[in-house]
Amino acid sequence: MLKAKHKTGLVFFPAFDWAISPTHPEREERLLYTQDQVLEEGLFDIDGIQEFKPDPVTEKDVQRVHFCVPDVGSVTTESHLISAGGAKTIGSAVLDKQVDRGFALVRPPGHHAMRVVHGARGFCNINIEAVMIEYLRQAYSIDRVAIVDTDCHHGDGTQDIYWHDPDTLFISIHQDGRTLYPGSGFVEELGGPNALGKTLNIPLPPNTSEEGFLHVLDHVILPVLEDFQPDIIINSAGQDNHYTDPITNMNFSAQGYAALTERLKPDIAVLEGGYSIEGALPYVNLGIILAMAGLDYSKVQEPAYDPDAIRQSPSTSAMIEKIGRLVLQHWRETRRQKGSTGNGAEFAERSRGIFYDTDMLNERQRETVRICRDCGGALRIDSSSDRGDRILAVHIPRSACSACQKTGYHWYESAERSSFRQICLQDRVRDGYTIRED
């Protein structure tokens, strides 16, 4: 009888009752074909591969991460809560040492959901990885977390949530944002003033194959992970880099995904995108599961696989090597700046517009962060949308120093109530979420 080298837990949640539309790429069949493949291949007969059932996350779990406008129930369904709950379940199984590694094969996805949520964007309402991570931090006292997002689309929501967090390393490897939604994720995006170098973006040209991905993994991602020394590694395991994916332009195969997983060695993987429902997902997921379990994946192959048709050109390889060198150059420069808080200013600000493509909604944000040598800094977000909802969101990070806690409470208590529909405080030091009622 086969035995897994690494005990591996799986959670499946196809979300039968949630769909954007019956023919939308993000639909339940994304997981149904994979479930069938896993059962047909007899993976649950292998000693050390175990299935877990998801429970929904709570409102408090969501509020550790998000400011939902006007509330959690207005921007989520039960399926969103169970999807995040699947990630939470598998994360708990890993940290409880029931298994060595875990893979949450769930939908709806989450990596485009930002800290403030007015609706759905990029098929995402809440950030399921972030909800899982902040629950695990609260329940198990883990500190340093690395997130490696291998979805073809830039994980702009996860980047936004952890932009100011010096204890979270976020790395996104994706198709160049000049050629694909959401149009972001460039090498110059390196994190906020208190977490510079804790965000790394690796935008790759269209037609990149696994050769290019694995080069970047070996020469950029793994050395940075080794330097960061995370307590846990999370893989946002999007599968839309596959050569048959209908909405992207990359040339990854099931073998490539398995090899990436084998080398990255994530503690937890969480499914994100991937829309080649029959031609890719069953084989990609099978390869990932076998690689996580430490089993042979060499026989996993798509029916239409032709290595010559997806071979990476020499010019693409040269471009990828150049991008990798540039990312490392930027990262090393941020390390030389470590401990510097810039021009002596007390606060840093940025203003931006955010488009919710799924709900066709525009948000305007003005963000202020306290520059701090001791923590991620108190954060203030003035957010308004086309619907007329304007909120003030104040975030006090888990590791906030006394000065940043004082600043956060001052912002929360002194804001003019009549100017906002809601004034909200997310106090991670006390694990609380409150809304001013005056």
Q: Residues with catalytic annotation?
A: 112
List, in sequence order, every beta strand (DSSP E) within 59-167. Answer: 67-68, 101-106, 116-117, 145-149
- Structural tokens at position 438: 């005056």
Dist CA 371 CA 265 (whole Å): 34
Contact between 333 and 327 (Cβ < 8 Å): no
232-237/145-149 β-pairing: parallel
Which residues are 355's β-sheet partners? 362
Contact between 396 and 425 (Cβ < 8 Å): yes
The edge-to-edge listing of strands for the beta sheet with 347-356 is: 347-356, 361-370, 379-385, 390-396, 422-427, 432-435
Rg from Cα positions in the chain: 21
In three-state secondary structure terms, 136 is helix
Cβ neighbour number for residue 58 with a 10 Å cutoff: 16
Dist CA 266 CA 118 (whole Å): 31
Four-residue CA torsion sign, 213, 218, 219, 223: positive
Q: DSSP class of residue 313?
A: P
Four-residue CA torsion sign, 120, 125, 127, 131: positive
Cis peptide preceding 182, ω within 30 of 0: yes
Contact between 310 and 251 (Cβ < 8 Å): yes
Residue 170 has phi, psi (to 5 degrees) of -115, 120
In three-state secondary structure terms, 420 is coil
